[in-house]
């Protein structure tokens, strides 16, 4: 039951890939009377202005949020705590604070304590993205057919949850709701570990002295280029993801390394059966992804 | 100086992604009077027939090569030795034997000893591909703007090298020539290790008991899906790559694991600077790939 949401004033804190794409959706579908764009960087505000993404622009967080009924935090997750401290006292009664971060437990821990009683915190994670950053990187279709995960606490206000849910449905997403802890486990394997591995292999290639960099680049079509795309993602955003989902990432990384040792041993000892068996079963998951239209 | 090559009869041994794409190019540009398709599988020959890829079809390798002036081995590299033994006595004087495998030293070791003196072995590796296999997966444009690496021995006949080079130029590739050992080192980092890592992480996700498979699939858009694409590549072909480029892959894997330990430690101890530094420098390689039009 999709219902077009409507807000008087939406404050976008941070205007990167996700929030700038969201701004485009809000304008396209007239989901708010007013959009305020807030960034600590004047250059980012200038870019957003040129793109006509918002109705007004400011570097002042308190000023941005004071009249807003929806606040969307779209900054590296490590910045949320400081932001919450600043904006807490300025928030309107009954306002909804949501976010778009890739880790969810830390949002509750960092933001919740600084919000007034009457303000609703509804953490959200639109699982969509590209390797590009900044206001120019956004586009309306970014969210189409992807999943958004909400992680409201059990005590969260149902109307506030519904409002955030409707926003992402309107953006073209399917919406799920789950516990923040479980979200962080799933994303550790489907997103955080893949990024870590991609950054790592590109780093390994960068440091090689036996093969020079221009050759790595020239022959990247054999698989490497896909990793370089992922490893071109925003460095500060990803630094914060790893620092804020430490236990889950280390757990998945431990399993990955264990499994990799088995492959290493199979290669060393010429055990083709072990290799072929693994390489065959991984095709099943790909088929599932194609069937689920998440390609 | 691109010169359109011409052959009387080309024998394609194996009609998978690469050889079936090559067949399309040869037909499109009339590069041969006759193309013979050879596969040990009747089903594959049937598919190739339906697609009208060749002029004749056979499961008999000796029969396929006996009149051919160019023989292209397009099978998993582990199968080359046995093939060479069978076809050796049937080869025409002065024929050129080439291949399309992802490992090159083993081709020289496995094939050369079984060829008559008068036959030229010119190993080649068109660095292009998709995760799909079989005759239906091929298409004319597969090679466009990619690199092909030739690894002829120093004593190789220049005219034979030129013929193979012209074939790949005609297919739209840029062509490089280098030592087979060096090729195997480069490809270990740009192709073999990325595939190993992708297979491994998809396997790790497959085995997880804390997160179920349908959720891994649903939320794959956060990075995981790119790995599943690579991990859907042909299992037997890749098994043979790892078994036949063992030393180079183990060397690169050792470096990768070392580097990964540094990241693991940085995450455990909350060392954001180390993470951010790596995540920033990997962007350079991506820029290089974009500039080199290898995206």
CB burial class (10 A; 0-12, 13-18, 19+) of residue B158?
exposed
Q: What is the pLDDT of residues B266-281, one digit of tens each?
A: 999 999 999 999 999 8
> What percent of chain A shows pLDDT beyond 90?
85
- Please, are residues B227 and A190 in contact by the beta-carbon 8 Å criterion? no
A224: chain B residues, CB-CB within 8 Å: 189-191, 194
The model scores a pTM over 0.95? no
CB burial class (10 A; 0-12, 13-18, 19+) of residue A291?
exposed
Residue A7 dihedral angles phi and psi, to the nearest 5° = -125, 150
Contact B235 A185 (CB under 8 A): no
CA distance B92 to chain A (A): 33
> What percent of chain A shows pLDDT beyond 70?
99
CA distance B7 to chain A (A): 28
In this predicted model, which residue has the larger pLDDT, A295 or A223? A223
Contact A194 B224 (CB under 8 A): yes
B259: chain A residues, CB-CB within 8 Å: 200, 203-204, 207
CA distance A273 to chain B (A): 8
Q: What is the pLDDT of residues A150-190, one digit of tens each?
A: 999 999 999 999 999 999 999 999 999 999 999 999 999 99
CA distance B94 to chain A (A): 31
CA distance A137 to chain B (A): 16
Q: What is the pLDDT of residues A93-123, one digit of tens each?
A: 999 999 999 999 999 999 999 999 999 999 9
Task: Quote the ipTM score.
Answer: 0.92
| A235/A202 Cα distance (integer angstroms) | 14
**Location of structure tokens 């060096």:** B182
Indicate if the pLDDT at residue B1 is higher than 70. Answer: no
B141: chain A residues, CB-CB within 8 Å: none
A198: chain B residues, CB-CB within 8 Å: 223
Would you say how long chain B is, in residues? 295
Q: What domains can you pick out in chain A, each with its CATH number?
A: 7-178 (3.40.50.720), 182-291 (1.10.3660.10)
Contact A264 B278 (CB under 8 A): no
pLDDT value of residue A1:
60
| A83/A133 Cα distance (integer angstroms) | 20
Contact A246 B255 (CB under 8 A): no
In this predicted model, which residue has the larger pLDDT, B206 or B26? B26
Q: What is the pLDDT of residues B128-144, one digit of tens each?
A: 989 899 999 999 999 99
Q: What is the pLDDT of residues A10-67, one digit of tens each?
A: 999 999 999 999 999 999 999 999 999 999 999 999 999 999 999 999 999 999 999 9
| Angle formed by the axes of helices B235-244 and A272-291, nearest 10° | 140
Residues in CB range of A191: below 8 A, 6 or more apart: A102, A127, B219, B222, B223, B224
Contact B275 A238 (CB under 8 A): yes
**Location of structure tokens 């590299």:** B77
Q: Which runs of E-coded beta strand occur in chain B? A: 7-13, 32-38, 56-58, 70-73, 96-99, 120-122, 124-127, 147-150, 174-177
A195: chain B residues, CB-CB within 8 Å: 223
Contact B292 A218 (CB under 8 A): yes
> What percent of chain B shows pLDDT beyond 90?
85
Q: What is the pLDDT of residues B156-187, one digit of tens each?
A: 999 999 999 999 999 999 999 999 999 999 99
Q: What is the pLDDT of residues B90-135, one digit of tens each?
A: 999 999 999 999 999 999 999 999 999 999 999 999 999 898 999 9
pLDDT value of residue A291:
82
Q: What is the pLDDT of residues A192-212, one digit of tens each?
A: 999 999 999 999 998 887 788
Which strand (E) or helix (H) includes residue B115? none
Residues in CB range of B44: below 8 A, 6 or more apart: B15, B134, B135
Contact B190 A220 (CB under 8 A): yes
Of the candidates B123, B67, B56, B73, the one whose C-alpha atom is nearest the C-alpha of residue B95 is B67
pLDDT value of residue B210:
78
């Amino acid at each position: 039951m999709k219902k077009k949401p409507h807000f008087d004033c939406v404050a976008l804190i941070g205007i990167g890939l996700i929030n700038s794409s969201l701004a485009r959706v809000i304008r396209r579908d007239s989901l708010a009377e007013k959009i305020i764009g807030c960034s600590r960087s004047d250059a980012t505000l200038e870019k957003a202005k040129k793109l006509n993404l918002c109705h007004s622009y400011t570097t002042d967080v308190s000023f941005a949020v004071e009249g807003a009924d929806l606040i969307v935090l779209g900054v590296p997750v490590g910045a949320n705590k400081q932001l919450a401290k600043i904006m807490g006292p300025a928030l309107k009664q009954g306002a909804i604070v949501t976010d778009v971060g890739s880790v969810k437990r830390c949002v509750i821990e960092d933001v919740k304590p600084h919000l007034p009683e009457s303000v609703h915190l509804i953490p959200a994670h639109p699982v969509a993205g590209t390797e590009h950053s900044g206001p120019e990187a956004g586009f309306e279709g970014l969210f189409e057919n992807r999943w958004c995960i909400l992680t409201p606490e059990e005590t969260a206000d149902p109307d506030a949850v519904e409002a955030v849910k409707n926003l992402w449905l309107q953006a073209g997403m399917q919406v799920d709701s789950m516990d923040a802890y479980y979200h962080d486990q799933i994303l550790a394997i489907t997103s955080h570990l893949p990024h870590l591995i991609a950054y790592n292999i590109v780093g390994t290639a960068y440091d090689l002295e036996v093969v020079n960099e221009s050759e790595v680049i020239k022959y990247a079509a054999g698989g490497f280029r896909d990793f370089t795309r992922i490893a071109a993602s925003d460095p500060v955003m990803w630094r914060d993801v790893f620092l804020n989902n430490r236990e889950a990432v280390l757990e998945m990384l431990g399993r990955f390394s264990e499994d990799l040792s088995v492959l290493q041993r199979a290669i060393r000892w010429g055990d083709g059966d072990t290799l072929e068996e693994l390489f065959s079963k991984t095709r099943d998951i790909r088929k599932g992804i194609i069937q689920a239209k998440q390609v």
